[in-house]
Amino acid sequence: MVDAITEFVVGKIGNYLIEEASMLIGVKDDLEELKTELRCIHGYLKDVEAREREDEASKEWSKLVLDFAYDVEDVLDTYHLKLDERSQRRGLRRLTNKIGRKMDAYNIVDDIKILKRRILDITRKRETYGIGGLKEPQGGGNTSSLRVRQLRRARSVDQEEVVVGLEDDAKILLEKLLDYEEKNRFIISIFGMGGLGKTALARKLYNSGDVKERFKYRAWTYVSQEYKTGDILMRIIRSLRMTFGEESEKIRKFAEEELEVYLHGLLEGKKYLVVVDDIWEREAWESLKRALPCNHEGSRVIITTRIKAVAEGVDGRFYAHKLRFLTFEESWELFEQRAFRNIQRKDEDLLKTGKEMVQKCRGLPLCIVVLAGLLSRKTPSEWNDVCNSLWRHLKDDSIHISTVFDLSFKDLRHESKLCFLYLSIFPEDYEIDREKLIHLLVAEGFIQGNEEETMEDVARSYIEELIDRSLLEAVRRKRRKVMSCRIHDLLRDVAIKKSKELNFVNVYNDHLAQHSSTTCRREVVHHLIRRYSSEKYKNKRTRSFLYFGKSGFLVGRDSETMKIGRDSETMKLLRVLHLGGLRFHFASNGNLIHLRYLGIHGYYFSYYLAFISKLRFLQTLDASSDASGHIISETVDLRKLTSLRHVIGKFFGELLIGDAANLQTLRSISSDSWNKLKHELLINLRDLEIYEYSTSEERRVPVSWASLTKLRNLRVLKLRAKCGVYLWLESEEAVRSMDVISPSLESVTLVGITFEEDPMPFFQKMPRLEGLILENCHYSGGKMSVSEQGFGRLRKLCFFMESLDELQIEEEAMPHLIELLIISKELEKLKLIIPNRLRACMR
């Protein structure tokens, strides 16, 4: 594990030597020497960690290396901070800069001399105790990167998760769900040990076409071992998607009892399905059941749990279903689907080796898929090595999930190891938004871009690798891309354990409060804990603070609201600050020049305007932590933040952006602010949302497509308006003369937009468009037409039109369409002229 940290620090030294060469002139040679020594030590670490059993001397030596690597990072980051602070001084304070810079230079020379002595001592200890047999450092980063890209391209983009061996279970439970004679609220409990596939089975039922048709109101929530009933109720309310705007803002402030009453009112008289995943205590169900009406509409509740007493402890009418282990035939089918994805030829010896390993998994799906994920990236000649290693660690003549995980983890390159360990920041059963995870990984400095790919693209490939290896589970997909993911509880426990050993992440909660670290690099709080002391913020090594939980203040022991930047040394090295709904006070002199990610609640945004304007190197500003989408009405000036890559929030007031060459995400911005930007500078913009919040005709500004044609890399576009805003498309004559329009766009969503002409001839010329949604749009022309060559890649087309008289689609149009949804106030009067093959796509 330590090898991942040392490789990261070696890379960071290299970046400093390239990007900050002028400030390191006096110590450049010493740093190069440190880098070389650390890379050599990294080679010994690889050998130590490749061993099947690590002796105590090796463990202690690895800890010395870990502390040393962290100290190198601290020295460099602190020196960079001091130089930047001096460069920002004004007036008489600038006169002291020359003396101060000399003192800083002397200090870093002394610090590096100490580090050099320490690394020599570490090397001597290795030689004295005979630790490791040197392997050449794994410098094949480029080869490894190439392999990741090749495997990514080899994957089928249409590959979906398949539940194997649970067909009979699904059939039985589907009959229970759809039983028309059962009019009372009925509970289905799925129970069994961890890793059997309880959540996968529940999700298969939840996403069944018959279930979607039967239950208009569906919700999914998770409970886990540490839970707050109010949080669970709020997740159910959000999942139902029945509240919006001001209503969502209002219920956000509700107490637990009020949420119970509100949810009960939402579901009263309705046929609903609620899935409650991963319950550990009967009390959790007792807290929820009052909010779920016992009506006579045929409603259903699905519960998953590892504990039989919980499954059978629910009151009312219920059916408890125990999940079994897979048979060998089912196990082999599951293994085959994943393990042989990149192997063209399967000989008898390979099949024999695979079957021997699968037999020892004893029918546990999680163990099988992690093993298959590991072997899918091995050559046939390497399968025997894996098999031999597993055989040496059999327990009760079985392969345990911990053994398979250790092999899979060791097989990861160091960037993927860091990505996996970073998953420990998220609460149990948390649905992880993929894009947010990518922004965090980039901000932490774990990801290096290259000439072919941006840092975000590289991060996506690492996440896909973890999914391929079944170390991470894809939860939600859109346009054949993973939108959210989840880590299994058993694997999350391992990630937390390893992260704590490395001082990589410390998760603070009520149960572990006494063990909170004062040296850990990342501090995570999952619940609003009033006891959480301000003394925890005396950790000068902290690189990240992340909070996941309800809104509120984080208060110290003396009822003092927490301040970041209050102490001149505390938290100055922060790279990530994810506050969510937590309100902090920022000291005005806080100079967080290393900060790359700031995630805050839109409701508190106005308190931070002055602070944000000083974050010159910020990459991600995310004010979307508020699920209700609080509108930011103040003027937001980001012109000095020239490193911005992602700006997310509902910016109703004026949004000022300067040099935006790095900007990839901008959502959402008012049409007025959008029209004032220099669009030709947004050369890397990929994701854009323009939201016109105003209902005043004087303030509504039309949007011209001409402003969007300059965005050559734009992939996702959303235009939303509370009241009809005109979207000026190109003229019919101009459209006819164009071969393609917006060549990179993959998804277009238009809400509340008014068209003067039929938009179909325009949109159908977008060569990469896969999704088009028109919601509450206005078009007085009456008829829309799609020509024979139109929409070559379109997979999803949705109309939610105020009025539409006729829709005509030619026979050869939309060859790849799989979903066609048409909703209109006068649907029965709509004249629909479409191919028969597309009628099968309608729902």
Q: 149, 131, 159: which is closest to 46 by C-alpha?
A: 131
- Report pLDDT for 305: 93
CA–CA separation, 7 and 12 (whole Å): 9
pLDDT tens column, 380-420: 889 999 999 899 888 888 888 888 998 899 889 889 999 99
Tell me whether domains 167-322 and 414-494 share a fold: no
Instruction: Give the CA count within 13 Å in the CB-facing half-sphere of 711.
Output: 26
Spatial distance between the Cα atoms of 172 and 302, rounded to a whole number of angstroms: 13
* Rounded distance between C-alpha atoms, residue 92 and residue 104, angstroms: 19
Residue for token digits 């999680």?
366
| pLDDT of 150 strictly over 50 | no
User: How far apart, in whole angstroms, are the C-alpha atoms of residue 608 and residue 510?
Assistant: 29
Among 759, 775, 640, smallest CA distance to 720 is for 775
- Tracing tokens 């090796």 back to the chain, one arrives at 58
Identify the pLDDT of residue 566.
44
pLDDT at residue 64, rounded to an integer: 87
Looking at residues 255-269, what average pLDDT do you find? 90
Mean pLDDT of 343-366: 90
What's the CA gap between 339 and 468, in Å, rounded? 10
- Report yes or no: 803 and 826 within 8 Å, Cβ to Cβ: yes
Look at the block and give the residue holding tokens 């909010």. 291
CATH code given to domain 167-322 = 3.40.50.300
With CA atoms as reference, report the closest residue to 503 among 117, 62, 70: 70
In this structure, of 346-360, 551-565, 630-644, the range with the lowest mean pLDDT score is 551-565
SS3 228: coil
Instruction: Tell me what pLDDT residue 480 has.
Output: 79
Instruction: Check whether 627 has a pLDDT greater than 80.
Output: no
* In the predicted structure, residue 647 carries a pLDDT above the cut 80: yes
Range from 179-193, 597-611, 663-677 carrying the lowest mean pLDDT = 597-611
Which is more confidently placed, 679 or 693? 679
pLDDT for res 556: 42
- Taking only the tens place, the pLDDT of each residue in 293-305 is 888 889 999 999 9
* Predicted confidence (pLDDT) per residue in 3-55, tens digit: 888 888 888 888 777 766 666 666 778 888 888 888 888 777 777 666 656 67
Tell me the percentage of the chain whose pLDDT exceeds 90.
Answer: 29
- How high is the pLDDT of residue 180? 84
Q: Which residues of 683-714 are buried (b: 16+ CB within 10 A; e: fewer)?
A: ebbbbbbbbbbbeeeeebbebeeebbeebeeb
What is the mean pLDDT of the segment spanning 246-263? Answer: 82
Residue-wise pLDDT for 649-674, tens only, equals 989 889 999 888 899 999 989 888 88
| Least confidently predicted of 23-37, 565-579, 783-797 | 565-579
**Across 136-140, 393-397, 466-470, least confident range:** 136-140
CB within 8 Å of 523: residues ≥ 6 apart: 506, 508, 516, 517, 536, 539, 542, 544, 545, 546
d(CA 139, CA 791) in angstroms, rounded, equals 46
Question: Mean pLDDT over residues 61-86, rounded?
Answer: 82
Q: Do 368 and 406 contact (CB within 8 A), yes or no?
A: no
* 668 prior amide bond cis, ω within 30: yes
Pairing of strands 703-704, 716-728: parallel
Q: Which two tokens stand for residue 596?
A: 């790359």
The ranges assigned to domains in the chain are 1-129, 167-322, 328-411, 414-494, 746-842
Say which residues have a Cβ less than 8 Å from residue 202's Cβ, sequence separation at least 6: 190, 275, 277, 302, 304
Q: Sorting pLDDT into bands at 50, 70 and 90, what band is 143?
A: very low
- Tokens representing 609 are 């305007």
Mean local confidence (pLDDT), 262-269: 91
What percent of the chain has pLDDT above 70? Answer: 81
pLDDT in tens, 433-454: 999 999 999 999 999 888 888 9
CATH class of 414-494: mainly alpha
